[in-house]
Structure 1
Amino acid sequence: MNSSALDSFLDKWRARWPEWSVAEPFVAPEHRARAVAWFSLLQELDDMLNTSGDPLPADAKLAWWGEELRSWAGQRSRHPLGRVLEPIRAPWAVLADALPSLVEARAVAVDAAAAQRALTAFAEAVAAVEVVLFEDRPRAGAGQAVLLQTLAQRLYDAGVTGVPRSLLEPDAAAAPRRWAGELLKDWKLRVAGPRPRRIWAALARARLQSQASGKPIEATPVRTLLRVWWAARG
């Protein structure tokens, strides 16, 4: 399980989220390894959603991941992340069925509602996996929490390409800040979902607040500790 191939994916996610070193102790010990593996997988999918340039390589990867996730039901994983995740009997096929929607979601949405609709099936599939993965119960609003974080990550990675067309006028340069502010309106300090998701969402929300305000994020260990402590509460 600790192969160099697996470590390379986990390390890539940790490099993008260095705050996790402060947050991780708030995750149950038995869920820590699978949380990082799962978030690393979601990062791979985010990268395919937010790709720039020729989309064909990303489309091919998404198709491959669809086959890979379906194979996990029979415990036939090929990807290093599967060593951690495949033994868990989560609805992997449901997530696989939602992956094609990421191709369509790359297009600039007409408005905020269209941006949300494009990723709703994917977000609900992710939330369904997390119920099993983290031994939680279904919670109203969990899919919406994933949706907002996915849109925030798209804005973070893709910039103005991730902003709905209706927000591009009158000043396209300020559009990312406007979209960040719109996303924050529905994003509570503590979202629905299992504890690892709530903690990660708190870190992502802080980044989005920075984008909305145009000010650098204050990610000191103490501030991060307070954010994740609040998010981790029941």
Structure 2
Amino acid sequence: MVELVEQSAKLQSFIDKWLAVQPQQRVALAFVDGRQYPGHIALAALEQELLGAAYGIREPQVAVAKLNWWAEELSGAATSGGRHPLTQVIFDDERAHAIAGERWLAPVLAAMTQLEQGTAADFAAQLSAAEPLHGALAALETAWWFGRDASAERATRVAVLNHLLYALLRMEADAERDRLPLPMSRLARHGLSRAQLRAPSDARQQAVKAQLDDLLVGWRESARLPGPLSVFRALELRHGSRLTQNATRVPDSLAALQSGQPRSGLATTLQAWSAARAWRRYAG
């Protein structure tokens, strides 16, 4: 009994880390019952763990070690059942065994590759650079929720755009990193140096606004792409697009991104309900 309690506490700690980054997903949990669908929630928390290893560790050798551990864990989980609390929940579900082993490894391998990436040349290059990792995560999630034949094209675009938005939100904190959230062409056009990204200025506001405008176009275009969205990804889309829209309307867009979480009111609840309804209809 003590071991079961400890295991549950460890699992909850990873779910709490995911919800700390995406607090709007608490609304989704009303429609994705963790007692009935524990693997759905564990998979979302696993995605956050992999993203944390890919982007949240500043020492490359530490990040590589962490990702190597995940590669070993995911490559053997189908046979062993896994060692990590999240992996154990996921591979206790038959869905995990219906997904090819290479699809489980793809996000980890893509994360390793992108560790060496520098700042992209332009917005299109940013999209392309982010797609291998976030596309692999979206493909894994889509196969889990909807089956291996479902298109992950729309989910991939939403995941990539959300990543670029979150990177922009962290611009001041990550100004010393090799990979900056604004592409080189945008920095050059507005005459911004790395150091100038840390302090508010008209040039920085113009550059951030231009990045947000490109993101808004991306959010709109994503609606025309094929493929279903999980309940969590649908809320990520709503949250990201609303946060982008709100930030474009104020004099300091970056400050709005950092502090302006869209309210999780009735509209968010209705979006979660609609996404859950679409999921159950698609999954039969």
TM-score tier after normalising by the smaller chain length: 0.7 to 0.9
Q: Check the 8 A contact 2:219/2:237 in 1, yes or no.
A: no
Q: Does 1:110 align with 2:142?
A: no
Residues 22 and 76 of structure 1: CA distance in aligned 2, closer, same or farther (over 3 Å): closer
Which residues of 2 match residues 190-205 of structure 1 at below 5 A?
192-196=227-231, 197-205=233-241
In structure 2, the residue matched to 1:178 is 210
Following the alignment from structure 2 to structure 1, what is the Cα–Cα distance between the partners of residues 247 and 37? 28
Shift of 1:7: 1.4
Shift of 1:69: 1.4
Residues 48 and 206 of structure 1: CA distance in aligned 2, closer, same or farther (over 3 Å): farther
Instruction: State the SS of the aligned residue for 2:146.
Output: coil
Following the alignment from structure 2 to structure 1, what is the Cα–Cα distance between the partners of residues 73 and 161? 26
Where does structure 1 lack aligned partners over 5 or more consecutive residues?
A: none
Read off the aligned partner of 1:147 and give its amino acid letter: V
In structure 1, the residue matched to 2:75 is 70
Q: TM-score, with normalisation over the residues of structure 2?
A: 0.69
Give CA-to-partner distance per residue, 1:163-195, whole Å, 9 cap, x none. Answer: 222222305423344323312212148574333
Q: Check the 8 A contact 1:127/1:193 in 2, yes or no.
A: no
Following the alignment from structure 1 to structure 2, what is the Cα–Cα distance between the partners of residues 57 and 123? 21
Larger Cα-atom Rg: 2
In structure 2, the residue matched to 1:187 is 219
Shift of 1:32: 4.3
Instruction: State the SS of the aligned residue for 1:26.
Output: coil
Read off the aligned partner of 1:150 and give its amino acid letter: H
Read off the aligned partner of 1:71 and give its amino acid letter: G
In structure 1, the residue matched to 2:24 is 19
Shift of 1:221: 1.9
Shift of 1:15: 2.5
Give CA-to-partner distance per residue, 1:40-63, whole Å, 9 cap, x none. Answer: 111122222323642221221112
Figure out how many residues of one structure are paired with residues of the other and give that number: 234
Q: TM-score, with normalisation over the residues of structure 1?
A: 0.81
In structure 1, the residue matched to 2:182 is 163
Match of 2:46 among 22, 41, 47: 41
Residues 212 and 233 of structure 1: CA distance in aligned 2, closer, same or farther (over 3 Å): farther
Following the alignment from structure 1 to structure 2, what is the Cα–Cα distance between the partners of residues 85 and 77? 9
Where does structure 2 lack aligned partners over 5 or more consecutive residues?
A: 193-203, 279-284
Shift of 1:82: 0.5
Q: Does 1:99 align with 2:108?
A: yes
Following the alignment from structure 1 to structure 2, what is the Cα–Cα distance between the partners of residues 48 and 208? 25
Shift of 1:108: 1.3
